[in-house]
A and B are shown apart, each in its own frame.
Chain A
Amino acid sequence: MDLHIFWFIALGILLAGYAVLDGFDLGVGILYPLAKTDNEKRLFLNSIGPFWDGNEVWLVTFGGALFAAFPDAYATAFSGFYLPFMMLLWALIFRAVSIEFRSKHDSLVWRGAWDWGFCFASSLATFLFGVAVGNCLRGIPVGDDKEFSGVLADLLNPYAISIGILAITTFAMHGSIFLYLKLEGEVKERIHKWLWHTFGCFVVCYIFCTIYTLVTIPHAIYNFEHHPWLWSIVILNVLAIGNIPRALFLGKPGYAFLSSSATLIAFTALFGVALFPNLITSSLNSEYSLNIYNASSSDKTLHLMKIIAFIGMPFVIAYTLIIYWVFRGKVKLGKFSY
């Protein structure tokens, strides 16, 4: 396979892994206000306790791989989205330490502040991911020098904001199913109600954003016209979404979680198809777009990294499976919990 296409797909896999895995723990953060008592809050936190850190590594590795495979796209995107990325970093820092520090001290103000920080930072980070995706789909002003030439306001357009909201509803739904799987008793029943609320919000946003994309971003379906088999992703996506309420209705939340994971994977795939072969689409002139050829590292580096990935990824998958297996089952608060 063409090394450039290989790395485009590999980045997609890393991004999909991040969306599926960190998606549910960000979702737990978004839904965190549903936890009423201190005990419930700790249950929420500890449901993601052993996982969130490893989940975030998918993003770190995505960043590293983007840097390595397509340095120009990495440089343009990160310097162009300067303040949004900084805000994302602040949110992720805040979130990490909120989880870690919250239960370490017994005071209402202390815990209240970190609780608020955890929910806000999770929501903000999710929103900013959505905004970034929206802007990539829409295209940003990039000149012939490969540099971003716009201003911050260009990035906060209605389309990107819509995708940001879609991201929040998607992760909230994904997180609610995860919580439903992990919790027991009265709080579980409360989540059950919210499964349907979040699913409803998600479907509304999904339909709205799909129409919005089809109307305003014609180049998003360019690849579909030339490769009709790609429509199968859309069909799978719709089936996966449809299976969520079905599985919930049948009382099989495990399947619902798999379906919402499949939905996130399909979203990432559609995002990739809409972009391909571009990484950053220039809204000024399509010739200025950074694509997998003009923004990439040398074939030698791409080949080296392919070897690294083939050696490393089986280990990564093995660790992930081990961790999820060791910490399977319902959350229990113990002496080592947050």
Chain B
Amino acid sequence: MTEFLATEILARLQFALTIMFHYLFPPLSIGLGLLLVIMEGIFIRTKNPIYEKITKFWVKIYAANFAMGVATGLVMEFQFGTNWATYSRFVGDIFGSALAAEGIFAFFLESGFLAILVFGWDRVSPKIHFLSTIMVALGSLFSAIWIVIANAWMQSPVGFHIIGEGLHRKAVIDDFWTMVFNPSSVRMLVHCVIGCWLMGAFFVMSISSYYILKKRHLEVAKKSFVIALILGFIGSVLAATSGHFLAERVSVTQPAKLAAMEGHYRTGTGGSPLYLFGIPNNKTETVDYGIKIPGGLSFLVHGNFTTPVVALDQFKKEDRPPVGITFQSYHLMIFLGIYMLTLTSFSLFLLKINKLFESKWMMKIFCVSILAPVIANQAGWVATEVGRQPWIVYGLLRTPDGLSKSVKSEQILISIIIFSIIYILLFITYIFVVNNKIKHGPDDLIQKLK
């Protein structure tokens, strides 16, 4: 029994470690990809060489990031089989077609055209190059689509029936499009992709503000900053909107998750409160030190202040997700979202009155604000996945039942240790390389040109 428990904890830890590390990179690929399309699009339109320089500079950084995404992404695909074999057998009939579609439609597209994007400047015409940039951006978007569909199906499985018993129980697909457009997929996908845009926007703003502070490459930095700021503002508004619609859907498909995210223990009879802060206490089933808006949760879910929202007390103890982590990561994400919205709208105002780039303080804030979307994206994932517990496929398969039967805990332990070492080394190297590129800046390319 303890061996089994250890296996479960280790396998989950390994998944968390590898996905969280992986998820540092693809959001940037998606967000920066969109910005590259915009930047190069302006170049094609205006023929202004400064935009060519801007695009080439960001492509260099994009390439390093992309390689990390590919390298860490391979692990994700194989890990379903290595650590979660029983889960793979259970979902293969459904999940598999999404993964295969991802490979065929997304990965080939992005990795193929990436070669032209990075190495093809002198080999193809500017228009073809621009087309390749669009293809890479589309490819990374497609990969998000298929993987989010697969994950959304795990949150709200539909379009299947169950066959077999015990270990041989598995889900079999009834209708592909019902599976694809399951109740969670569109809202999750929209929210997720917008989170990626924020990542790209704040990344560009962070590096640009560094240049502005150092008074280097000012033209490139300011032009990049403005493009990214507009995307960052639009993204922040849309993130809040799409987040609201997603939470509303979660209240229908996974009420236990929403209750955990909101620290909502007791259904009661009147309106349900919305906690802004607090520490959920599982013993007393209350939120300690909480600040709440009475009826707020009812308003967000039902549109009035009096209808109660389903709380954790409607679920058996063994069917409840861990409340503390879900609550805190969800709230952290929301606060970071509000922070990004405030920061970008205030900055747009400063830009309008020509005070933005003169403000050292704002530039310093933007330098470090890259952490906001990074943490918000991770926290959003934690709230989504921990909130789904104790299920790996909601309502159908419990997480411990999805483990590989033939894998021992010490094998996982060894692999976690080695993954940790490799990932720490990789991360240091990645930061070092990107930092190097930033230090060299966009002029580097022009020097070599001569």
The answer to whether A301 touches B97 (Cβ under 8 A) is yes
Residue A196 is within 8 A (CB to CB) of chain B in the complex: no
Encode A39-61 as 1/0 by CB contact (under 8 A) with B.
Answer: 00000000001110110110111
The answer to whether B114 touches A53 (Cβ under 8 A) is yes
Q: Which residues of the other chain, A, contact B172 by a CB distance below 8 angstroms?
A: 297-298, 300-301
Q: Which residues of the other chain, B, contact A319 by a CB distance below 8 angstroms?
A: 108-109, 112-113
The answer to whether A68 touches B92 (Cβ under 8 A) is yes
Known: A64-B96, A308-B104. A79 touches B82 (CB 8 A): yes
Known: A78-B85, A83-B415, A304-B97. A336 touches B78 (CB 8 A): no
The answer to whether A308 touches B426 (Cβ under 8 A) is no
Encode A296-313 as 1/0 by CB contact (under 8 A) with B.
Answer: 011011001100110011
Chain B residue with the shortest CB-CB distance to A71: B92
Cα A80 to Cα B31 in complex, Å, equals: 38
The answer to whether A304 touches B74 (Cβ under 8 A) is no
Chain A residue with the shortest CB-CB distance to B414: A83
The answer to whether B123 touches A82 (Cβ under 8 A) is no
Q: Tell me the residues in window 105-125 of chain B with beta carbons closer than 8 Å to chain A beta carbons.
A: 105, 107-109, 111-116, 118-124
Known: A92-B74, A101-B433. A323 touches B112 (CB 8 A): yes
Encode A85-122 as 1/0 by CB contact (under 8 A) with B.
Answer: 11001101110110111001100000000000000000
The answer to whether A65 touches B173 (Cβ under 8 A) is no
Residue A157 is within 8 A (CB to CB) of chain B in the complex: no
Residue B437 is within 8 A (CB to CB) of chain A in the complex: yes
Q: Which residues of the other chain, A, contact B448 by a CB distance below 8 angstroms?
A: 335
The answer to whether B93 touches A326 (Cβ under 8 A) is no
The answer to whether B115 touches A50 (Cβ under 8 A) is yes
B415's partner among A57, A68, A86, A297 (CB-CB below 8 A) is: A86
Q: Which residues of the other chain, A, contact B184 by a CB distance below 8 angstroms?
A: none
Interface segment out of the listed B226-234, B291-299, B402-410 = B402-410
The answer to whether B63 touches A71 (Cβ under 8 A) is no
Residue B449 is within 8 A (CB to CB) of chain A in the complex: yes
Known: A67-B99, A79-B406, A86-B82. A97 touches B71 (CB 8 A): yes
Indicate the size class of the contact surface on chain A: 35 or more
Q: Which residues of the other chain, A, contact B92 by a CB distance below 8 angstroms?
A: 67-68, 70-72, 74-75, 297
Residue B342 is within 8 A (CB to CB) of chain A in the complex: no
Q: Which residues of the other chain, A, contact B347 by a CB distance below 8 angstroms?
A: none
Residue A244 is within 8 A (CB to CB) of chain B in the complex: no
Encode A312-338 as 1/0 by CB contact (under 8 A) with B.
Answer: 110110011011001100000011110
Cα A147 to Cα B105 in complex, Å, equals: 32
Residue B268 is within 8 A (CB to CB) of chain A in the complex: no
Residue A63 is within 8 A (CB to CB) of chain B in the complex: yes
Cα A302 to Cα B172 in complex, Å, equals: 11
Residue A224 is within 8 A (CB to CB) of chain B in the complex: no
Q: Tell me the residues in window 404-439 of chain B with beta carbons closer than 8 Å to chain A beta carbons.
A: 404-407, 411, 414-415, 418-419, 422, 426, 429-430, 432-433, 436-437
Chain B residue with the shortest CB-CB distance to A322: B112
Interface residue ranges, A against B (CB under 8 Å): 49-51, 53-54, 56-57, 59-61, 63-65, 67-72, 74-80, 82-83, 85-86, 89-90, 92-94, 96-97, 99-101, 104-105, 145-149, 297-298, 300-301, 304-305, 308-309, 312-313, 315-316, 319-320, 322-323, 326-327, 334-337
